[in-house]
A and B are shown apart, each in its own frame.
Chain A
Amino acid sequence: MDTHDPASPPASQADARPVLEAPDIARVMTRIAHEIVERAKGADDVVLLGIPTRGVFLARRLADRLEQITERKVPVGSLDITMYRDDLRLQPPRALARTEIPGDGIDGKLVVLVDDVLFSGRTIRAALDALNDIGRPRAVQLAVLVDRGHRELPIRADYVGKNLPTSLRETVKVLLAEEDGRDTVLLGAKQTSQ
């Protein structure tokens, strides 16, 4: 899931430091696309599923690049994990996002989950549960733009854009042109008020 906390004021972004800029993000996405093709030996049965909101945009970008590399359309969709979260009862109800599974489904396919930031791993656990109710993929892999560490579950990413060692007092915020008007990854300090 994204690190967009509606309560965090833009003030914190002012002193946030960019760790990836637009050209870096573009290069990283191209590299991940090549890695997927290499590991899947051609990406014949790859289905990309982005986790809303920003994972979906990243999944679409990956799909475009995979198409350029393999000259074949790669199915891309979205997987909303809100209803599968383990912290639903700790907060007021969240708005749901769209789950869009490509027409051919995911049975027997290689599903690559795409998210912006990998942190505790709880989102991915929820995503695996959600996938379970939709079908039975041949295998599931995980691609993330940023891995910031601090895992709370035995989960790791197969494709990582950038490993970013962080402290728990820091925040990582991914901004993407589709949603935020520009591409960048910001590393900032957490508000003490939380």
Chain B
Amino acid sequence: MQRHLISAADLTRDDAVLILDTAEEMARVADRPIKKLPTLRGRTVVNLFFEDSTRTRISFEAAEKRLSADVINFTAKGSSVSKGESLKDTAQTLEAMGVDAVVIRHGASGAPYRLATSGWIDAHVINAGDGTHQHPTQALLDAFTMRRRLVGRDAGLGQDLNGRRITLVGDVLHSRVARSNVDLLHTLGAEVTLVAPPTLLPVGVETWPCEVSYDLDSTLPKSDAVMMLRVQRERMNAAFFPTEREYSRRYGLDGERMARMPEHAIVMHPGPMVRGMEITAEVADSDRCTVVEQVANGVSIRMAVLYLLLGGAEFQAPSTSAAPARTAEEN
């Protein structure tokens, strides 16, 4: 694995499977009376959120606390950023405080990459969503949910999603979740189809490792998992479709459409859902919808990522230091 987690495209198949397998063990901690591991004791993690987020920030915070890391929450509102401080100055402030990892969400695509590669800080950088670019931990928790449901909890260990047909429906243009998912699912061997009105597909989508369709009804019977994306009204500054009603009639998932999916197929949503728009209440509340499961799996995945990035020795660290020759076989 690399030092940072910036993009789902940076992960190899083996990295991704290792993260999913680790998350499967982390998930068991949630069933214990004491939901805590001492692994990251003494490490400091900053949640640097320049953009609003509830579930991602809470999920990261829960994961950090379950691994006993010290957590500092930094939200742009009411901070020095609202007074005009630059990303560089914020980063250097954090560096001076001796931070071990930065979980960053930023409205600008590429901000986490800048933070990781600029030399401003030594900390590990984990991308928690940047603009319309990437949201790698979301893609990982989605893949984790698919593997659990489609392959099985124990049967899935060590496995990828080879040959599974995954359909992503909706606002692909503004969706970092869609980008991350396409990258990761392709790496894991799944066949991905994007379904969206042409106006909500980004330029260059034909170069992505996936199929594109404008017709939801013909794609549904050939899907093992259908992921509905939220229509991101806050990022829309033009008329991408005539009316909301027309959008939900053509691209929304209702009970009738769900019935056309194969028996075993699941419905996913990264949240927050807009009921009545891309998904009806009937579908959202059905057993086949994994939204709540995805949230629980998010904590396990983030614990796995934090453990794999922060839990061991630094890769560049000189191995001569305190490590005795015997560490390879301690009993």
Contacts and interface: CB of A to CB of B under 8 A. Distances in A.
Given A88-B312, A133-B36, A134-B33, A118 B331 contact: yes
B192 to A, nearest CB: 28
Given A91-B323, A97-B25, A5 B328 contact: yes
Nearest to B32: A134
A96 B22 contact: yes
The contact size tier of chain B is 20 to 34
A118 B330 CA distance: 9
A87 B22 contact: no
A96 B307 CA distance: 10
B326 A168 contact: yes
A7 B312 contact: no
B328 A129 contact: no
Contacts of B307: 83, 93, 96
B298 to A, nearest CB: 18
Contact of B331 (A83, A97, A120, A133): A120
B37 interface: yes
B21 interface: yes
A122 B311 CA distance: 18
B301 to A, nearest CB: 14
Nearest to B28: A99
Dominant SS among interface residues on chain A:
loop
Nearest to A168: B326
Contacts of A88: 39, 311-312
Contacts of B26: 96
Interface string A111-123: 0000101111111
A87 B38 contact: no
A163 to B, nearest CB: 14
Interface in B1-59: 18, 21-22, 25-26, 28, 32-34, 36-39
A102 interface: no
A112 to B, nearest CB: 17
A90 interface: yes
Contacts of A133: 32-34, 36-37
Interface in B312-331: 312-313, 315, 322-323, 325-331
A90 B322 contact: yes
Contacts of A92: 312-313, 315
A84 B331 contact: no
A35 B28 CA distance: 33
B33 A135 contact: yes
Contacts of B325: 194
A94 B18 contact: no
Name, among B21, B37, B38, B325, the residue most crowded by chain A CB atoms within 10 Å (CB to CB): B38
15 contacts: A3-B329, A5-B329, A83-B311, A84-B37, A88-B311, A91-B313, A93-B311, A96-B21, A117-B331, A120-B326, A120-B330, A129-B38, A133-B32, A134-B33, A135-B33
Given A3-B329, A83-B38, A91-B327, 16 more contacts: A7-B328, A8-B328, A80-B25, A83-B307, A84-B38, A84-B39, A87-B323, A87-B327, A88-B39, A88-B311, A93-B312, A99-B28, A115-B331, A119-B331, A133-B36, A134-B33
Interface of A: 1, 3-5, 7-8, 80, 83-84, 87-99, 115, 117-123, 129, 133-135, 148, 168, 171-172, 194
Identify the 8 closest CB pairs spanning chains A and B, nearest first: A119-B331, A93-B312, A96-B25, A5-B328, A133-B34, A90-B323, A3-B329, A83-B37
